Amino acid sequence: MSDSSIVVFEQHAGIVVLTLNRPEALNALNLAVLQQLAALLDRLRTDAAVRAVILTGGGTRAFCAGADIRQLNSASPLAVREFARLAVEVNCRIETLGKPVVAAINGAALGGGLELAEACTLRIAARGARLGHPEVQIGAIAGFGGTTRLPRLVGRGRAAEMLLRGRAVDADEALQIGLVQSVVPVDRLLDEAQVFLADILAQSPTAVRLTWEAMHRGLNLSLDDSAQLGADYFGLVAASEDFRIGTTAFLNKQQPRWTGQ
């Protein structure tokens, strides 16, 4: 895709970088951005050449500042609900892509922008980034999944404090509370995302995919049911070629050569 696209697509060595490309609007989400993200995610899901995704923002100021408030201010309540449902669907597609997605947070990640990042497998922030849910400050709520995902990431109390006060945290505090997994200088952000992905992609693709799926599904179950689900997935992965390769390599003190089957 050309750099004039509102979501720039770059692919190298099995890793796709998706860059929100509205820097003049702090990469705010409008209908066109969400529609393009949805189409790209559908494409990436079925592309066997794509092993992982990095999501980041264009420019130097923002990962994504949230929904385009000017657009929402003039929309009907029904249109706002449909917009939110599309955003929820995009975030669900990120979360269930079947491939790891790393949010490289290069600046402000606010409201719907933070909700995009919350749907990713892992989050890495540039030093100086700010993350938060300021929706209550404009009479709104975190309607793209933030009220569900943020408590799962940082706990109910911290999530309630951030959501109800509308308070943003800096990158260091985000790391402290578990909202992001690493904080680096902005010029090292994409390199750090590549390092995280290199560690993940060195593992069995089958085991990685099923581990994430078991985590994602298990969070919506009771502790007992979630543990039983984990046992079921253990049995499922044992039917894979990668399981035989990995266990045989371990016994023979060799490095496994995964097939992803």
- Give per-residue pLDDT as tens, 137-151: 999 999 999 999 999
- Distant-in-sequence, close-in-space partners of 118: CB < 8 Å, separation ≥ 6: 91, 145, 146, 149, 150, 153
Q: Which residue of the set 24, 89, 135, 241 is catalytic?
A: 135
What does the alpha-carbon distance between residue 148 and residue 86 come to, in Å, rounded to a whole number?
A: 16
Q: Could you check whether 7-201 and 205-251 share the same CATH topology?
A: no
**Would you state the pLDDT for residue 3?**
43
Mark residue 106 as left, alpha or beta (left: phi above 0; alpha: psi -120 to 50; beta: remaining).
alpha
Catalytic residue list contains 95: no
Instruction: Classify residue 28 by its DSSP letter.
Output: -
What does the alpha-carbon distance between residue 212 and residue 200 come to, in Å, rounded to a whole number?
A: 11
- Residue spans of the domains in the chain: they are 7-201, 205-251
Catalytic residue list contains 82: no
**Would you state the pLDDT for residue 255?**
84
**Would you state the pLDDT for residue 95?**
95
Instruction: Classify residue 97 by its DSSP letter.
Output: S
What does the alpha-carbon distance between residue 124 and residue 212 come to, in Å, rounded to a whole number?
A: 18
Q: Which residue of the set 10, 89, 115, 118 is catalytic?
A: 115
Q: Beta 7-12 vs 130-132: how paired, if at all? A: unpaired
* Terminal Cα distance for the chain, rounded: 31
**Would you state the pLDDT for residue 4?**
53
Mean pLDDT by 10 residues, the chain (261 residues): 74 96 96 96 94 96 94 90 96 95 98 97 97 95 95 96 96 98 97 94 90 88 88 88 86 84 76
Asked whether the CA dihedral 136, 80, 146, 156 is positive or negative, the reply is positive
Tell me which residue has tokens 């790393």. 102
Class of domain 205-251: mainly alpha
Which of the listed CATH numbers 3.90.226.10, 3.30.70.260, 3.30.1280.10, 3.40.50.1980 matches domain 7-201?
A: 3.90.226.10
Residue of 190, 58, 187 whose CA lies nearest to 124? 190
Residue range 94-106, pLDDT digits in tens: 999 999 999 999 9
3-state helix, strand, coil in the chain (%, to 5): 50, 15, 30
**Would you state the pLDDT for residue 198?**
93
**Would you state the pLDDT for residue 222?**
87
